[in-house]
Amino acid sequence: MAVEQLSARLAMPDLVGIDMGGTSFDVVVVHEGRAATINEGSIDGVPVRLPMIDLRTIGTGGGSIAWMDRAGRLRVGPRSAGAQPGPACYGRGGDQATVTDANLVLGRIDTHRFAAGRMRLDPKLAREAVTRGVAAPLGLGTEEAAEGIVRISVANMAQAIRLSLYSRGLDPADFALVSFGGAGGLHAAEIAAEVGVDTVVYPMAAGTFSALGILSSDIAHSLVRSRVQAFGPEAAAWFSAAAAELRAEADAMLVQDGVAPSARRFVFAADLRYRGQGYELTVPLSAEPPDAAALASVAASFHEMHAQRFAHADPAGAIESVALRLTAMGVVAKPPAAAAATAQSSGAARTARVYLDGSWSEIPMRERATLAAGESLAGPVQIVEDYSTLYLPRGWRIAPLAGGDLVAKRA
């Protein structure tokens, strides 16, 4: 929901939201301004036939553990050190190398700025964990091993994005990445380059971006009427009657929710398939009640959607309708958008010592709050704020927008 709202605010209809926290990496696709939904998903491998936002989650986060499999290959995740004991560098008893430890070894995290300075990281413990768990078994230097951990993490996350886009017939080059979660900024530009995306958006308060989404979410009810039938003019009467029944049920629900009539929104869609198929596509209905002309338009949309999703379509083929769906929404008041803070004085210039291209280099370090509108920074650069760090590699340029978000472009 937060990515949907950002899409509208920035007039960027096609976004891939990536949320990288301590244990997981979550992907959501917002296409033409709307988050992708599915009518059947799975939870812990169990199929669940309920409408839900289509999220893809893998076990890659800051606390994901690097380990060697039986063939001697380096793996990262899905096991995690969690928050207790956490990465080795937390100094809480963890002794296995994690993605956070690898970033610290490479100099990408400022030990004095982590968690707004309330928590001091121990680089020595991070190096020991990476050396013991990865570098020594592979015969690598500690920095090389840390780079390997980061590269494998990036490859895993890039693959999750590809699967989310390719499964819908979408091209990554048409999308921008939205990076949030406390660890997202450390990897987003490298993930984007791996996938073939040239733009990355870094919203304010990345660690609580998802919380903003739930605060701004509308009430929603999903209702359905099922009937397998030929999808053509003869089905218009059933669709019209079923739509009226669903609308009445939805109105009663929204009355119970205390939603005023002016704040109610109704979106109808039909589950359609070619005759003989065992799966359906959900196609929005453009008119209510749906008449014969509207159904003909929906049939054309189904052929287009099928061609995009599966790379083939049969415009002359018989279409069946399986169900009519209604999403009934109660629009709630939204929290006011946070105003971007006026850029603060940058003070003394700072640098970060970062391991790049096989050697240590000094790169600029900036506080996010010091970036002024119109300013542009070229990578490599490290941008820090209270609860996240942004690392921009070489070949990228970043600039703040008027609303406080940052946008990076790849050369």
pLDDT band at residue 301 using 50, 70 and 90 as cut-offs: very high
Give the model's confidence band at 360: pLDDT under 50 very low, under 70 low, under 90 confident, else very high: very high
- Identify the helix (H) or strand (E) that includes residue 366: strand 359-367
28-42, 100-114, 226-240, 342-356: range with lowest mean pLDDT: 342-356
Q: Rounded to an integer, what distance in angstroms lies between the CA atom of residue 196 and that of residue 55?
A: 20
Quote the percentage of the chain above a pLDDT of 90.
69
Please count the residues of the chain: 411
Predicted confidence band of residue 287 (pLDDT cuts 50, 70, 90): low
Contact 109, 389 (CB under 8 A): yes
Do 15 and 6 form a contact (C-beta atoms < 8 A)? yes
The CATH architecture to which 220-330 belongs is: 2-Layer Sandwich (3.30)
- What are the backbone dihedrals phi and psi of residue 130, each rounded to the nearest 5 degrees, phi first? -65, -40
pLDDT of residue 339: 62
Residue type, 156: N
Residues whose CB falls within 8 Å of the CB of residue 133, separated by 6 or more in sequence, listed in order: 66, 67, 68, 96, 97
In percent, how much of the chain has pLDDT > 70? 96
**pLDDT higher than threshold 70 for residue 324:** yes
Read off the pTM.
0.85
pLDDT of residue 314: 93
Q: How many angstroms separate the CA atoms of 106 and 123, rounded? A: 10
Cβ partners under 8 Å of residue 382, min gap 6:
108, 110, 352, 354, 363, 364, 365, 366, 389, 390, 391, 392
| Two tokens, residue 125 | 């413990």
Q: Residues near 71 by Cβ (< 8 Å), separated by ≥ 6? A: none
Q: Where are the alpha helices (DSSP H) in 108-232?
A: 123-130, 136-138, 142-166, 188-195, 209-215
Numbered ranges of CATH 3.30.1490 in the chain: 220-330
pLDDT reading at 184 higher than 80: yes
Q: What is the pLDDT of residue 88?
A: 95
**pLDDT tens readout for residues 266-279:** 999 999 999 989 88
Residue 343 has pLDDT above 70, yes or no: no
pLDDT at 346 over 70: no
pLDDT at position 163 over 70: yes
pLDDT at 285 over 90: no
Q: What does the pLDDT average to over 14-32?
A: 94
Q: Are 246 and 254 in contact (CB under 8 A)?
A: no
Please, are residues 122 and 161 in contact by the beta-carbon 8 Å criterion? no
Give me the pLDDT at residue 297, please.
87
On whether the CB atoms of residues 94 and 57 are closer than 8 A, the answer is: no
Query: What's the pLDDT score for residue 364?
Result: 95
CA–CA distance, 7 with 13 (Å, rounded to integer): 5
H runs (alpha helix) in 167-235: 188-195, 209-215
CA distance 145 to 166: 31
